[in-house]
Amino acid sequence: MNYNVNEKGYYGDFGGAYIPEMLYPNVEELRQNYIKVMQEPEFQKEFNELLKEYVGRPTPLYFAKRFSEKYGVKIYLKREDLCHTGAHKVNNTIGQILMAKRLGKTRIIAETGAGQHGVATATVCALMGLECIVYMGAVDIKRQAPNVARMKMLGATVVSAESGSKTLKDATNEAIRDWINNPTDTHYIIGSVVGPHPYPDMVARFQSVISAEVKKQLLEKEGRENPDYVVACVGGGSNAAGIYYHYLDNPEVGIIAVEAAGKGIHSGESAATSALGKEGIIHGSKTLLMQTADGQITEPYSISAGLDYPGVGPMHANLFRSGRGEFISVTDADAMKAGLDLSKLEGIIPAIETSHALAIFNDRKFKKDDIIVINLSGRGDKDLNTYIEYFDLA
Amino acid sequence: MNRINKRLQEDKELLSIYFTAGYPDLEDTVPVLEELVKSGVDMIEIGLPFSDPLADGPTIQQSSTAALKNGMTTAKLFDQIKDIRKTVDIPLIVMGYFNPMLQYGVEAFCAKCAEIGIDGLIMPDLPLAEYQEHYQSIFEKYDLKMVFLITPQTTDERIRQIDDATNSFIYMVSSASTTGKTSGFGNVQTDYFKRIAALSLKNPQIVGFGIKDEDTFKAATATAKGAIIGSAFIKSLTENGISGIADFIKSIRP
Ligand SMILES: Cc1ncc(COP(=O)(O)O)c(C=O)c1O
Chain A, 5-24: which have a CB under 8 Å from a chain B CB? 16-22, 24
The residues spanned by each domain of chain B are: 3-252
Distance from CA of B126 to the nearest CA of A (A): 6
Supply the pLDDT for residue A114: 86
Give the separation between CA B87 and CA B36, rounded to whole angstroms. 12
Give the tens place of pLDDT for each residue, A317-372.
999 999 999 999 999 999 999 999 999 999 999 999 999 999 999 999 999 999 99
Supply the pLDDT for residue A145: 87
Query: Is A351 near ligand 1, meaning CB less than 6 Å away?
Result: yes
For the entire predicted model, the pTM comes to 0.97
The residue length of chain B stands at 254
Supply the pLDDT for residue A164: 78
Q: Is the peptide bond before B24 cis (omega within 30 degrees of 0)?
A: yes
A104 Cβ partners below 8 Å, 6+ apart?
none
Supply the pLDDT for residue B176: 84
Supply the pLDDT for residue B193: 93
Supply the pLDDT for residue B182: 67
Domain B3-252 fold: TIM Barrel (3.20.20)
Domains of chain A: 21-51+89-203 (3.40.50.1100), 56-86+208-391 (3.40.50.1100)
Rounded alpha-carbon distances, angstroms, from residue B109 to A210, A308, B104, B168: 44, 31, 6, 20
Cβ contacts of A62-70, under 8 Å, gap ≥ 24: A63/A221, A64/A342, A64/A345, A64/A346, A66/A345, A66/A346, A67/A341, A67/A342, A67/A345, A67/A346, A67/A358, A70/A341, A70/A345, A70/A361
Give the separation between CA A30 and CA A202, rounded to whole angstroms. 10
Local mean pLDDT, 10-residue blocks, chain A (394 residues): 94 97 96 98 98 98 98 98 98 98 98 95 98 95 90 98 88 97 96 98 98 98 98 98 98 98 96 96 98 96 92 98 98 98 98 98 95 98 93 90
Give the tens place of pLDDT for each residue, B187-206.
888 899 999 999 999 999 99
List of chain A residues whose C-beta atoms are within 8 Å of the C-beta of residue B98 = 18, 281
Contact A257, A326 (CB under 8 A): yes
The mean predicted confidence, pLDDT, of chain B is 96
**pLDDT at residue B185 above 90?**
no
CB contact under 8 A, A20 and B54: yes
Give the tens place of pLDDT for each residue, B13-72.
999 999 999 999 999 999 999 999 999 999 999 999 999 999 999 999 999 999 999 999
Give the separation between CA B2 and CA B175, rounded to whole angstroms. 29
Q: What is the DSSP letter of A246?
A: G
Give the separation between CA A309 and CA A296, rounded to whole angstroms. 14
Q: Which atom of ligand 1 is nearest to the CA of A112?
A: 14
ipTM over 0.90: yes
Distance from CA of A181 to the nearest CA of B (A): 4
Share of chain B above pLDDT 90, in %: 94
Q: Which atom of ligand 1 is nearest to the CA of A350?
A: 1
**pLDDT at residue B183 above 80?**
no
Give the separation between CA B131 and CA A160, rounded to whole angstroms. 35
Give the separation between CA A247 and CA A256, rounded to whole angstroms. 12
